[in-house]
């Protein structure tokens, strides 16, 4: 049997010698929230948690009960820990202050509590995405300034995928590791050590139903990956779940490219810079891949607002660079 390492032990053993433990404890808090959300996702078909709540979120989308539950769990698992100074969630319009009765810490948490939630009713994999920053504002408690840092400043990023098993994948800037949840013992166990994504893949993931409104570069790129060329991997296989964490996770392991480009109707696409693009960009870069908005590295973008959208092209390094060339009209 290969060595059995729980997520707690891994976090403890990989933290720098001078670390106070605050940051490690935060990752454990997130893993705890993931267990609670995973439990509800897994029994979603059994109890009355499917379906809409009847309200819409800040993006005008209908909020599903599980979205609300996940949002609330993350908040409640972390608000009282004394480790965070502020949070922001894709489901909430404003930044989330730490309640005055609790101590404030040095970190900022940004999260998408349940991404891909339109897939819940069909039993398709969904996920939670998160990232941590250090507090930079001089205010006593966290502010919007703390939440609007470029992705490059992330100190940790990760996601949880609720699929055939629940997995937590994260990086603290020192490799990307994956932990699979063992429900029989209630622990996340190290299952994927130092994940590296292939430099080139042979999968492309994009919603081709939107192709009529793409720019010519994006159209040319997607046509290119579908052409037959025995010298390269082409034609690529098309794989699109429509659940970002699941599409990203598969491509991270197998190699490939995911695109949610800007288009004529939505010049900045659909995905959110701080909740979705930045955390996955940090992970993919630490796994040897790359993330771009077609023109710039995702991690370099300074957000203007917490709900800012960005085109996202992410995955294997050579594939993303090639897509950039097409989008920029260089090919």
Q: Could you list the residues that contact ligand AHM (CB under 6 A)?
A: 61, 112, 115-117, 207, 242-244, 270
- Asked if 112 is part of the footprint of Mg ion (rule: CB under 5 A), the reply reads yes
Across the beta sheet with 156-162, what order do the strands follow?
96-97, 84-89, 107-115, 126-134, 156-162, 166-171, 176-182, 187-192
Question: Long-range pairs for 190-193 at CB < 8 Å and ≥24 separation?
Answer: 190/3, 190/4, 190/5, 190/6, 190/7, 190/10, 191/167, 192/167, 192/253
Asked if 54 contacts 102 with a C-beta cutoff of 8 angstroms, the reply is no
Question: Which of these segments, 92-100, 109-117, 152-160, 316-324, binds Mg ion (CB under 5 A)?
Answer: 109-117
Cβ neighbours of residue 104 closer than 8 Å, sequence gap 6 or more: 82, 84, 85, 98, 140, 141, 142
Q: Which is nearer to Mg ion, 293 or 322 (CB)?
A: 293
Alpha helix segments (H runs only) across 79-215? 144-147
Q: What is the distance between the alpha carbons of residues 281 and 88, in angstroms, rounded to a whole number?
A: 18
Q: Which stretch binds Mg ion (CB under 5 A): 50-58, 113-121, 176-184, 316-324?
A: 113-121
Estimate to the nearest angstrom the gap between the alpha carbon of 17 and the chain centroid.
28
244-254 and 278-286 helices, crossing angle to 10°:
10
Of ligand AHM, Mg ion, none, which one sits near residue 270, judging by CB under 5 to 8 A according to partner kind? ligand AHM
Least distance from ligand AHM to the Cβ atom of residue 214, Å: 13
- For residue 207, the partner it binds in Mg ion, ligand AHM, none, with Cβ less than 5 to 8 A by kind, is ligand AHM
Please state, in angstroms and rounded to a whole number, the distance separating the CA atoms of residues 97 and 185: 34
67 binds, among Mg ion, ligand AHM, none (CB under 5 to 8 A by kind): none
User: By rule CB under 5 A, what string of x and - marks binding of each residue 17-36 to Mg ion?
Assistant: --------------------
Q: Of 181, 141, 138, 177, which is closest to residue 156 (Cα–Cα)?
A: 177
| Nearest CB to Mg ion, comparing residues 5 and 124 | 124
DSSP state for residue 148 in the 8-state scheme? -
Shortest gap between Cβ of 232 and ligand AHM (angstroms)? 26
**Could you tell me the two tokens for 118?**
């339109």
For residue 91, the minimal CB distance to ligand AHM (Å) is 9
Distance in Å, CB of 4 to ligand AHM, minimum: 32
Q: Least distance to ligand AHM from the beta carbon of 223, Å?
A: 19
CB-nearer residue toward ligand AHM: 23 or 75 = 75
Q: In this chain, which of 29, 67, 71, 115 binds Mg ion, going by CB under 5 A?
A: 115
Say whether residue 91 binds Mg ion (CB under 5 A).
no
Residues contacting Mg ion: total by CB under 5 A: 2
Footprint of Mg ion (CB under 5 A): 112, 115
């Amino acid at each position: 049997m290969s060595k059995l390492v729980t997520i707690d032990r891994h976090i403890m053993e990989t933290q720098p010698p001078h670390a106070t433990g605050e940051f490690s404890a935060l990752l454990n808090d997130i893993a705890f929230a993931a267990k609670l959300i995973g439990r509800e996702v897994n029994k979603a078909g059994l109890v009355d948690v499917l379906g809409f709540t009847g309200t819409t979120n800040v993006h005008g989308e209908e909020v599903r009960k599980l979205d609300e539950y996940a949002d609330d769990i993350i908040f409640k698992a972390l608000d009282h820990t004394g480790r965070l100074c502020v949070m922001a969630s894709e489901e909430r319009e404003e930044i989330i202050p730490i309640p005055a009765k609790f101590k404030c810490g040095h970190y900022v948490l940004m999260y998408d509590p349940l991404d891909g939630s339109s897939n819940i009713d069909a039993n398709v994999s969904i996920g939670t995405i998160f990232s941590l920053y250090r507090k930079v504002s001089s205010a006593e408690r966290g502010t919007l300034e703390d939440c609007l840092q470029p992705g490059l400043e992330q100190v940790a990023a990760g996601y949880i995928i609720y699929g055939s098993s629940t997995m937590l994948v994260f990086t603290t800037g020192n490799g990307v590791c994956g932990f699979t949840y063992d429900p029989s013992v209630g622990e996340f166990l190290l299952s994927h050590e130092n994940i590296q994504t292939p430099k080139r893949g042979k999968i492309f993931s994009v919603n081709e139903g939107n192709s009529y409104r793409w720019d010519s570069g994006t159209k040319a790129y997607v046509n290119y990956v579908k052409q037959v060329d025995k010298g390269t991997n082409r034609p690529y296989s098309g794989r699109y779940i429509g659940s970002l964490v699941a599409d990203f996770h598969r491509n991270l392991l197998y190699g490939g490219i995911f695109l949610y480009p800007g288009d004529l109707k939505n010049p900045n696409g659909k995905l959110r810079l701080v909740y979705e693009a930045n955390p996955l960009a940090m992970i993919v870069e630490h796994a040897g891949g790359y993330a771009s908005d077609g023109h710039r590295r995702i991690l370099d973008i300074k957000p203007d607002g917490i709900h800012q959208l960005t085109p996202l092209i992410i995955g294997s390094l050579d594939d993303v660079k090639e897509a950039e060339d097409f989008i920029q009209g260089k090919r």
